[in-house]
Chain A
């Protein structure tokens, strides 16, 4: 497939601009200290490695050596501080880095654990080398070299690698296997100008990075990376022994040496058990799942991938383009968030199934399920991972439409703010921590006692003001219903927000078109909601509120300059969405489930039974 290459974005002779656009990653060798008890970290070394990096390297070594297997609970922060004579801040930073690299997981109130041995890249982290990533996870692997040939550089490859067109370059195709299963296929173009004799390497025994460093005399320093999701196609189905329907993760990398010489342009196909920890991505993009979101297309070093270049080693045909990649990434986001949405609806209905004696506000809870999935599954930084500073700069949701909380609670559970026990304790009575109408409980992610409608926007405005005065990052997002917008206090507050141009304030209107007494347009038709919001000074957008990807896109923090206006998103939804008998039915504002409705609900939400 002939691809028009964009000269500007193909300019890669200097990695400087990528290094600015992409968080630069530095390759280091894990420290080889092995004894926790007797370790003392060098206070001063030749390279002046930071203490937290040294501690991180030590922990990695425990994981690599298998001494700390998956699921192993780490010593507490305090014990680590004692053992290494380090400050809490240093210990936290080391743990945070390892969490961001996917090597550790932190569970609120339980501790820090070694994560499960999926292959993991931290997007802004050190594990540029797949071999190093595997080694760090303590996985032994076998490398099969399917292709290793020196060819004249095609023009595009020459541009990417900064060599003269037609000069010799090395093409490699390798498959890595762990535990007898093919885990990834990597195709690379390597710069022989910078690495004399690289072609003579036995890549079954030596990693490309090691060989490159040996032949070039330089360290591998930087990588520009882009991940995208694909469905498996030939010939990768053969290489990875997978079905053509199976999802694959593709990583495109442009790797350069510490002297800024581009050394390798590669694509790596991972099977679906490869995991990318998203923590660092969340920091950069304030939580967007779409890794491209914080960058404009022009900023990416990659143009539409020249498939034929990669395919040429075998002559196999692979069809793709950047728009397809974007579609694939979007499809992955959609799949994930729709699954989350379904689970929120299931749990919301479970509250009603578990307690047939009381009516439940299913209508307004179900209408905002996608909104909550987008927020807690992709958009918001909930501040759960990280220390107090991260907690302070978290995004806040002020859930003003209090009766819709049945889907809020499982969303908070998904975010790690509520426990399963919190949900199972029910929504009333002395054991309950959460209630039909939310009660303020900031530790659990509930900012406002809601239920008396129309107070959220003003409260959120106060939180937004506070963040600005403290120069805290993060946004304050307020979710109101369209019926709730009947309340005068809503407009007192929205005028205030618009007047002060609080650009860290986001209003989402769950416009489900129904309220207790019937259609909102019949109860109180106040004209165009968008027009009213706009005249208050909001940047107004409208989306299909049941389209998770549209919601994520509309709610993602825009690239570039900070917005000058607060954002209002009108999400058009259906009350009772997800249950055929409740959809757009006014009495489902709150009601009891009949026995036939119970059966229908179970079937329609693909729930297996009525038990918890």
Chain B
């Protein structure tokens, strides 16, 4: 079923369901596939996977340290091991295990952080994952992938399960203020290096089907992007957005708003935030303003990673680091907290305009 879903329908699903569907789809062919869980398996739609690979489902209970230890051993014994759990707990409760077993020993596990950012913020600050990139980018050899849409998440899961290596896939929920899709071609393009996007029309097939197929409604405000042609020089632009995960959609919406004012922007979906490809920062330096966007503290996160590279250059444009508010926000709906953090298209637009005035 999942393979037949087009990007629009896939993006409409809960990302936990997408995770489970991809595992079920892969289990059919991959007898080494193993999912090690810590009491967070039931919500991951793993029924199909468990039916096909009952021996590949390892339940550790609420014990993330043991989860990582067991997973690392299985991965080093040749299994294709996927380790899903809350991003906040995975990156902190089991950080030492990740440092030693994944960092030093190179265990090729695929860690999957669920509810990155404010995804589960209504449950309390305990469940917010706003520093996981900061912790985990300190682990040498661990790649951090930040899928922007479910279609991209599915592509990343498929590739890493087939070629396991130390990876953290950070899942963020789509932002309510910025409905956004990547074309299937863009989402599936490999390797998962930073990708420049261009605004696109809704695919023809969907324009036709949207009226006839109620199961895949495309909201009228949805934005679509596709990958800029490979090897093409980026056009000169006022702004470069270096965005991760859910915030790629914000960048697309702000680009549209800026265009109405005659300002130009290049949108980069970073896809792999660690190790960060220095070339994308170099490209971004051609514009007047570099803006990082992430559902994460910019302290230690993507903003910090870009700043580290920028400041090594003799000359560089101004950097605007936008991310989660670096303070304890009380539990609330993600939309409210994103708003308080300034992570909405209108707030980002305002910030970018102010910064451009300042940088003139």
In this assembly, does B96 line the interface, its C-beta being within 8 Å of a C-beta of chain A?
Answer: yes
| Segment among B56-64, B161-169, B193-201, B326-334 that sits at the interface with chain A | B56-64
- Identify 14 new A-B residue pairs, CB closer than 8 A, beyond the known A462-B71, A493-B70: A439-B104, A440-B105, A449-B104, A451-B100, A452-B96, A455-B101, A459-B70, A461-B69, A462-B72, A465-B70, A465-B74, A470-B77, A489-B65, A492-B60
Taking CB atoms, residues of chain B closer than 8 Å to A493 are 63, 65-66, 69-70
**Shortest beta-carbon distance, A222 to chain B, in Å?**
41
In this assembly, does B79 line the interface, its C-beta being within 8 Å of a C-beta of chain A?
Answer: yes
In this assembly, does A531 line the interface, its C-beta being within 8 Å of a C-beta of chain B?
Answer: no
Name the interface residues of B76-125: CB closer than 8 Å to any CB of A: 77-79, 96-97, 99-101, 104-105
Most buried by B among A448, A452, A454, A462: A462
In this assembly, does B73 line the interface, its C-beta being within 8 Å of a C-beta of chain A?
Answer: yes
In this complex, how many residues of chain B approach chain A with their Cβ under 8 Å: the count is 24
A458–B66 touching, CB < 8 Å = yes
Taking CB atoms, residues of chain A closer than 8 Å to B55 are 469
Taking CB atoms, residues of chain B closer than 8 Å to A312 are none
Taking CB atoms, residues of chain A closer than 8 Å to B68 are 458
B63–A496 touching, CB < 8 Å = yes
In this assembly, does A495 line the interface, its C-beta being within 8 Å of a C-beta of chain B?
Answer: yes
B70–A461 touching, CB < 8 Å = yes
- Report the Cα distance A459→B76, complex, angstroms: 10
Name the interface residues of B119-170: CB closer than 8 Å to any CB of A: none
Taking CB atoms, residues of chain A closer than 8 Å to B104 are 439-440, 449
A466–B61 touching, CB < 8 Å = no
A449–B69 touching, CB < 8 Å = no
- Report the Cα distance A459→B73, complex, angstroms: 5
Taking CB atoms, residues of chain B closer than 8 Å to A315 are none
A492–B74 touching, CB < 8 Å = no
Return the chain A residue nearest B104 by Cβ: A449
**Shortest beta-carbon distance, A133 to chain B, in Å?**
41
Most buried by B among A451, A469, A470: A469
B77–A492 touching, CB < 8 Å = no
A459–B96 touching, CB < 8 Å = no
> In which size bucket is the chain A interface?
20 to 34
Taking CB atoms, residues of chain B closer than 8 Å to A466 are 73-74, 77-79
Most buried by A among B68, B70, B74, B100: B70
- Report the Cα distance A440→B61, complex, angstroms: 27
In this assembly, does A460 line the interface, its C-beta being within 8 Å of a C-beta of chain B?
Answer: yes
Taking CB atoms, residues of chain B closer than 8 Å to A458 are 65-66, 68-70, 73, 97
Q: Which 10 A-B pairs have the closest CB atoms?
A: A462-B73, A458-B69, A492-B63, A492-B66, A466-B77, A462-B70, A489-B65, A458-B66, A493-B66, A459-B69
Return the chain B residue nearest A454 by Cβ: B65
Q: Give A410-430 as 1s and 0s: 1 = Cβ < 8 Å from B's Cβ atoms.
A: 000000000000000000000
Q: Give A430-474 as 1s and 0s: 1 = Cβ < 8 Å from B's Cβ atoms.
A: 000000000110000000110110110111111101100110000
Q: Give A464-489 as 1s and 0s: 1 = Cβ < 8 Å from B's Cβ atoms.
A: 01100110000000000000000011
Supposing A458-B65, A458-B66, A496-B60 touch, asked if A449 and B100 sit within 8 A by C-beta, the answer is yes
- Report the Cα distance A495→B58, complex, angstroms: 14
A496–B97 touching, CB < 8 Å = no
Q: What are 28 A-B pairs with beta-carbon distances under 8 A? A: A439-B104, A449-B100, A449-B104, A452-B96, A452-B99, A454-B65, A455-B96, A455-B97, A455-B100, A455-B101, A458-B69, A458-B70, A459-B70, A461-B66, A461-B70, A461-B73, A462-B72, A462-B73, A462-B77, A465-B58, A465-B73, A466-B78, A466-B79, A469-B55, A489-B65, A489-B97, A496-B60, A496-B63
Supposing A488-B65, A492-B63 touch, asked if A452 and B74 sit within 8 A by C-beta, the answer is no
- Report the Cα distance A499→B197, complex, angstroms: 50
A489–B74 touching, CB < 8 Å = no
**Shortest beta-carbon distance, A434 to chain B, in Å?**
15
Most buried by A among B58, B60, B69, B77: B69
- Report the Cα distance A510→B150, complex, angstroms: 49
**Shortest beta-carbon distance, A403 to chain B, in Å?**
15
Return the chain A residue nearest B60 by Cβ: A496
Taking CB atoms, residues of chain A closer than 8 Å to B69 are 455, 457-459, 461-462, 489, 493
Return the chain A residue nearest B75 by Cβ: A462
- Report the Cα distance A517→B79, complex, angstroms: 40
**Shortest beta-carbon distance, B253 to chain A, in Å?**
44
Taking CB atoms, residues of chain A closer than 8 Å to B96 are 452, 455
**Shortest beta-carbon distance, A193 to chain B, in Å?**
58
Supposing A452-B100, A455-B97 touch, asked if A495 and B63 sit within 8 A by C-beta, the answer is yes
B105–A463 touching, CB < 8 Å = no
Return the chain B residue nearest A494 by Cβ: B66
Return the chain B residue nearest A472 by Cβ: B77
Supposing A455-B100, A455-B101, A469-B55 touch, asked if A462 and B60 sit within 8 A by C-beta, the answer is no
Taking CB atoms, residues of chain B closer than 8 Å to A463 are 73, 77
Name the interface residues of B38-71: CB closer than 8 Å to any CB of A: 55, 58, 60-61, 63, 65-66, 68-71
B66–A496 touching, CB < 8 Å = yes
**Shortest beta-carbon distance, A468 to chain B, in Å?**
9
Return the chain A residue nearest B36 by Cβ: A462
Taking CB atoms, residues of chain B closer than 8 Å to A465 are 58, 70, 73-74
- Report the Cα distance A463→B76, complex, angstroms: 9
Name the interface residues of A187-210: CB closer than 8 Å to any CB of B: none
- Report the Cα distance A465→B99, complex, angstroms: 23
- Report the Cα distance A500→B65, complex, angstroms: 17
Q: Give A487-529 as 1s and 0s: 1 = Cβ < 8 Å from B's Cβ atoms.
A: 0110011011001000000000000000000000000000000
Taking CB atoms, residues of chain B closer than 8 Å to A451 are 100
Taking CB atoms, residues of chain B closer than 8 Å to A462 are 69-74, 77
- Report the Cα distance A138→B159, complex, angstroms: 61
- Report the Cα distance A450→B73, complex, angstroms: 13
- Report the Cα distance A439→B105, complex, angstroms: 8
- Report the Cα distance A495→B65, complex, angstroms: 13
Taking CB atoms, residues of chain B closer than 8 Å to A488 are 65
**Shortest beta-carbon distance, A199 to chain B, in Å?**
62
Taking CB atoms, residues of chain B closer than 8 Å to A492 are 60-61, 63, 65-66
Return the chain A residue nearest B100 by Cβ: A452
Taking CB atoms, residues of chain A closer than 8 Å to B66 are 458, 461, 489, 492-493, 496
- Report the Cα distance A463→B105, complex, angstroms: 15
- Report the Cα distance A440→B68, complex, angstroms: 16
- Report the Cα distance A454→B63, complex, angstroms: 13
Taking CB atoms, residues of chain A closer than 8 Å to B101 are 449, 455, 459
Q: Give A541-568 as 1s and 0s: 1 = Cβ < 8 Å from B's Cβ atoms.
A: 0000000000000000000000000000
Taking CB atoms, residues of chain A closer than 8 Å to B60 are 492, 496
Q: Give B22-46 as 1s and 0s: 1 = Cβ < 8 Å from A's Cβ atoms.
A: 0000000000000000000000000
